Structure 1
Amino acid sequence: MKEDDPENRPKLRYFRYAVISFTALIVLSLGFSLIPADPPAPADPPFSEQARVAALQDSLDLRAAAGRLSASAEADGDANPTAADETVTLLTLQARALLSPADSSPEEDAPGSATPLPSGQSGPAAEAATTAEPTLAGLASALSASGVQRLTDAAKSDGGMARLLAGAGTAQLLAAEDLAAAAGVAQDTLPHAGTAAPPAAGALAPDATASSCPSPLPEPGDAGREPSAAGRSAVLGSALSAAVATEQQSLYAYQAALPRLGAGDAPAAEAFLGQHRELAAQAAAHSRAACSAPPAQPPGFVLDPGFLAAPRDGLARLEVAALPAYGDVIAQADGGLRSWAIAALQSATRRAAHWNGGVGPVPGLLLDQDQLPELPASPAPASAGT
């Protein structure tokens, strides 16, 4: 019989081996396909979110240190813990402005208990004030370092976050100087010493040079697309034109106030008038570089009825009202122009503070404190995880 032919047996044996091998290959391939692959590592959060988390963490740590300092002053019978109390208020409002719904809340006032910050955003500015018994001098230095970091991050963040960080950092620098004065420490020893000078006359940013302006007419088929370069330039040009108008009004107001100010206030007013003159020229140049014609200097402005009777208060109101104009430029600009606007915001804030104007917790940003989220029982950031 052919089935029993010895010559056929090796062929059948090879066929069985092939079938078994093929079956095993199918089983292995199915098994590998059913094993889930390792999930990809989460992407790093955007820089603006990392900067927000770092700012929030520093504000919470410094707030905790200021709170302990205030409590210690009261326990020791210090009748004037005002500097620490005002710092707690400032940092509380800043933390509320920086909160995100995704933030978690570990133990409040417990240094080191918060969710770790992203790599490179560990909040070193607050370490000195939270790892040891706080002092006014130590808190002033830590607050100054935090302000410097906020301003550095503002230069690289997205528009809205840049405005928030620039205002928060500016307020922290001024608060650090107040704490240093209360502690009897020279301000030139603070980390930000020498970094907050007003923009120099004619010091235009590298990107504020004359350039060909885009056509205001839309390109064919642009409907529904992202705003064109012309549209973005128009928004920035509008913000710069508003800054020019603000400086023109300030020039007029200071000239009207100078003859009516006391001898003690006149030198500062003269210096501030010079700053406004420089800023008006710089804002006009930036406006032209952004393809927007700056407004012409009007012959005069209508001042508040009580301005001439109380020029010091009038100048304070005027400087405070000018802050949002530079906040708008910070939000719309980038590069050297944003750096110029941040410096202009700082100088405007200092002028307002000189006249005892209330600049708020975030100069340059109009905040409705009643609309800010309340700090949870145990606040801390988490949305930019590790």
Structure 2
Amino acid sequence: MNDVSREKRWQDHFPRLFPRYALLACLALVVVSLGVVLTPARPPEPAEPSFSEQARAAALTETLRLKAAGSRLVTAVQDGSKPPPASLDGGSEPAGNPAVERTVTLLTTQAQALRMPGETDSEAAGASATASDASPPAKTAATATASPSPAGTPVAQAPATAAALVAALADSGRQRLADAAVADGGMARLLAAVGTAQLLRASALAAETGTTAPPSADVAFPKLSGTCASEPAQAGSSRATGSAESAAGDATAASPAVPDAAVPDAIHSAGTQSGPETTPAGASEAAALAAVVQTEAEAVYSYQVALPRVRGAAAASAAEALARHDELLRGAESLSRRLCLAVPPREAGYALGKSFLASPAAGLGKLEAAALPVYGDLVALSEGETRQWAIAALYSSGKRSVHWGADPGALPGLDSASLPSPAPLPSG
């Protein structure tokens, strides 16, 4: 009886208490919703820098470090004071000649090319630290084994002597070339240019200051492997083969100067953007290889003409360079066949100006320097073994241009129109 009466009372009270329960439920819902709204959302994780950005940041940081070290050497000589003890064993004190100043100017120009638009040195250091904290992206064994050098962690001591600066320049140049083999097209071209110039400058600085030359400065050519795909695949690539023939013909007609053919510059910026680059119509790996074949064919002919006109050590150097260009020509033709591309036919001869015949050594220097942008195109537009071969050929051509008295510049392989203005020597 009591249970029945208790249930009856609850049934009588519930209609009166229902609005209170509903109000409490609404208040609880409002409190919960306010808590959700007022809680700040977790910021998204920053995107991991690409390999190209990591490599650019590392190159910029190391270039700025080397430039600062060179500037300190120049200041120490100008003030008549001795620099701090060397960071590396051996070496001599800076001799005070313009060699270190030329090195600083070159590194200043390279830093300008590596810096992103509007980026300051402090921002560059921050970008380098971010890039160094990020793990490099996975790379297949077929691409390369390079990884960007730690950008945010400078060496404990900066190079304090000319000998130390030579060694550091050579180490940085090798790392830049290793990164160029893996980076994206435009950035690969810029890194290859920076690395080539740093290696060449390391050798020149050693000779000009009387210090020990960097060991193993040469860049090895890869052993090319593989053949063209099967016959059905070749049939499917006939359009690419035809475009290669057309590109080669267009390049020959467009550039009568030495060298006879040159692919239009594929990257008109200095390569500071790691994203997609704007390339002119017709710029492709096939066109770049066709230009290399024709450039090397003309180089072989030019050296054959120059060889009887030089004497002594110059004759020996010309003969050695002729053999190297013959190897490069055969290598470029082999690469074309491996990619199922038509090999441009060799010409019977090329027109050489009177200035070349009158001064063949200077003409050979101009010839080698003119080949640098052609190889820069191939670096930007190729990948894998082809790019590694192009990087080695770029350095080899730069080395020969220096030998014949030509200046490859601070960024060999980049079109002169895309380069930053010549950098003045910083004071202090």
Give the TM-score, by structure 1 length.
0.80
Contact 2:59–2:176 (Cα < 8 Å) also in 1: yes
Which residue of structure 1 lines up, in the alignment, with residue 114 of structure 2? 98
Which digits, 9 at most, give the CA deviation of each residue in 1:264-314, with x for residues without a partner? 112221111111111101101112233321211111111121212211111
Contact 1:312–1:355 (Cα < 8 Å) also in 2: yes
Which residue of structure 2 lines up, in the alignment, with residue 118 of structure 1? 131
Contact 2:375–2:393 (Cα < 8 Å) also in 1: yes
Once residues 316 and 68 of structure 1 are traced to their aligned partners in structure 2, the CA distance between those partners, rounded to angstroms, is: 33
Contact 2:128–2:151 (Cα < 8 Å) also in 1: no
Choose from 25, 31, 38 the match for 2:42: 38
Once residues 336 and 239 of structure 1 are traced to their aligned partners in structure 2, the CA distance between those partners, rounded to angstroms, is: 15
- Any residues of structure 2 matched to 1:20-59 within 5 Å, and which? 20-21=24-25, 23-59=27-63
Select between 139-148 and 42-51 the one with higher mean Cα deviation.
Answer: 42-51
Contact 2:53–2:131 (Cα < 8 Å) also in 1: no
SS of the equivalent of 1:347 reads helix
Which residue of structure 2 lines up, in the alignment, with residue 258 of structure 1? 307
Contact 2:369–2:401 (Cα < 8 Å) also in 1: yes
Choose from 257, 269, 290 the match for 2:318: 269
Shift of 1:344: 0.8
Shift of 1:17: 4.2
Once residues 212 and 9 of structure 2 are traced to their aligned partners in structure 1, the CA distance between those partners, rounded to angstroms, is: 107
| 1:185–1:372 Cα change, 3 Å | closer
- Any residues of structure 2 matched to 1:256-335 within 5 Å, and which? 256-335=305-384
Shift of 1:123: 3.2
Contact 1:74–1:81 (Cα < 8 Å) also in 2: no
Which residue of structure 2 lines up, in the alignment, with residue 75 of structure 1? 79
Shift of 1:258: 1.0
Contact 2:106–2:423 (Cα < 8 Å) also in 1: no
Shift of 1:181: 2.9
Once residues 87 and 167 of structure 1 are traced to their aligned partners in structure 2, the CA distance between those partners, rounded to angstroms, is: 15
- Any residues of structure 2 matched to 1:166-185 within 5 Å, and which? 166-185=192-211
Shift of 1:65: 0.9
Shift of 1:127: 2.5
Which digits, 9 at most, give the CA deviation of each residue in 1:127-174, with x for residues without a partner? 36xx35711011111111111111111111111111111011011011
SS of the equivalent of 1:116 reads helix
Shift of 1:25: 3.1
Matched, 1:196 2:224: no
| 1:74–1:239 Cα change, 3 Å | same
Which residue of structure 2 lines up, in the alignment, with residue 340 of structure 1? 389
Once residues 145 and 132 of structure 1 are traced to their aligned partners in structure 2, the CA distance between those partners, rounded to angstroms, is: 13
- Any residues of structure 2 matched to 1:84-233 within 5 Å, and which? 84-106=100-122, 116-119=129-132, 122-123=150-151, 127=155, 131-132=157-158, 134-189=160-215, 193=216, 195-197=218-220, 199=221, 203-204=223-224, 206=225, 209-211=227-229, 212-213=233-234, 214-215=236-237
Which residue of structure 2 lines up, in the alignment, with residue 227 of structure 1? none
Which digits, 9 at most, give the CA deviation of each residue in 1:204-259, with x for residues without a partner? 2x4x52122444569xxxxxxxxxxxx99982111101000010001011111111
Structure 2 residue runs without a partner (length 5+): 82-93, 134-148, 241-279
Contact 2:57–2:151 (Cα < 8 Å) also in 1: no
Shift of 1:91: 0.6
Once residues 115 and 330 of structure 1 are traced to their aligned partners in structure 2, the CA distance between those partners, rounded to angstroms, is: 24
Once residues 232 and 286 of structure 1 are traced to their aligned partners in structure 2, the CA distance between those partners, rounded to angstroms, is: 22
Contact 2:203–2:214 (Cα < 8 Å) also in 1: no
- Count of residues paired in the alignment: 350
Structure 1 residue runs without a partner (length 5+): 219-230, 379-386
- Any residues of structure 2 matched to 1:54-65 within 5 Å, and which? 54-65=58-69
Query: Considering only aligned residues, what root-mean-square deviation do their CA atoms show, in Å?
Result: 3.4
Select between 303-312 and 76-85 the one with higher mean Cα deviation.
Answer: 76-85
| 1:257–1:215 Cα change, 3 Å | closer
Contact 2:163–2:212 (Cα < 8 Å) also in 1: no
| 1:39–1:216 Cα change, 3 Å | farther
Shift of 1:87: 0.3
SS of the equivalent of 1:57 reads helix
Contact 2:132–2:151 (Cα < 8 Å) also in 1: no
Structure having greater relative contact order (Cα 8 Å, sep ≥ 6): 1
SS of the equivalent of 2:103 reads helix
Once residues 116 and 213 of structure 2 are traced to their aligned partners in structure 1, the CA distance between those partners, rounded to angstroms, is: 34
Contact 2:163–2:211 (Cα < 8 Å) also in 1: yes
Once residues 281 and 237 of structure 2 are traced to their aligned partners in structure 1, the CA distance between those partners, rounded to angstroms, is: 12
Shift of 1:11: 3.5
Letter in 2 for 1:98: L
| 1:27–1:123 Cα change, 3 Å | closer
SS of the equivalent of 1:157 reads coil
Which residue of structure 2 lines up, in the alignment, with residue 350 of structure 1? 399
Once residues 8 and 114 of structure 1 are traced to their aligned partners in structure 2, the CA distance between those partners, rounded to angstroms, is: 71
| 1:371–1:185 Cα change, 3 Å | closer
Letter in 2 for 1:84: V
Once residues 131 and 63 of structure 2 are traced to their aligned partners in structure 1, the CA distance between those partners, rounded to angstroms, is: 16
Once residues 126 and 51 of structure 2 are traced to their aligned partners in structure 1, the CA distance between those partners, rounded to angstroms, is: 23
- Any residues of structure 2 matched to 1:354-369 within 5 Å, and which? 354-368=403-417
Once residues 101 and 363 of structure 2 are traced to their aligned partners in structure 1, the CA distance between those partners, rounded to angstroms, is: 28
Shift of 1:68: 1.1
Shift of 1:53: 1.9
Quick one: percent identity of the two aligned structures? Answer: 43
Once residues 390 and 164 of structure 2 are traced to their aligned partners in structure 1, the CA distance between those partners, rounded to angstroms, is: 30
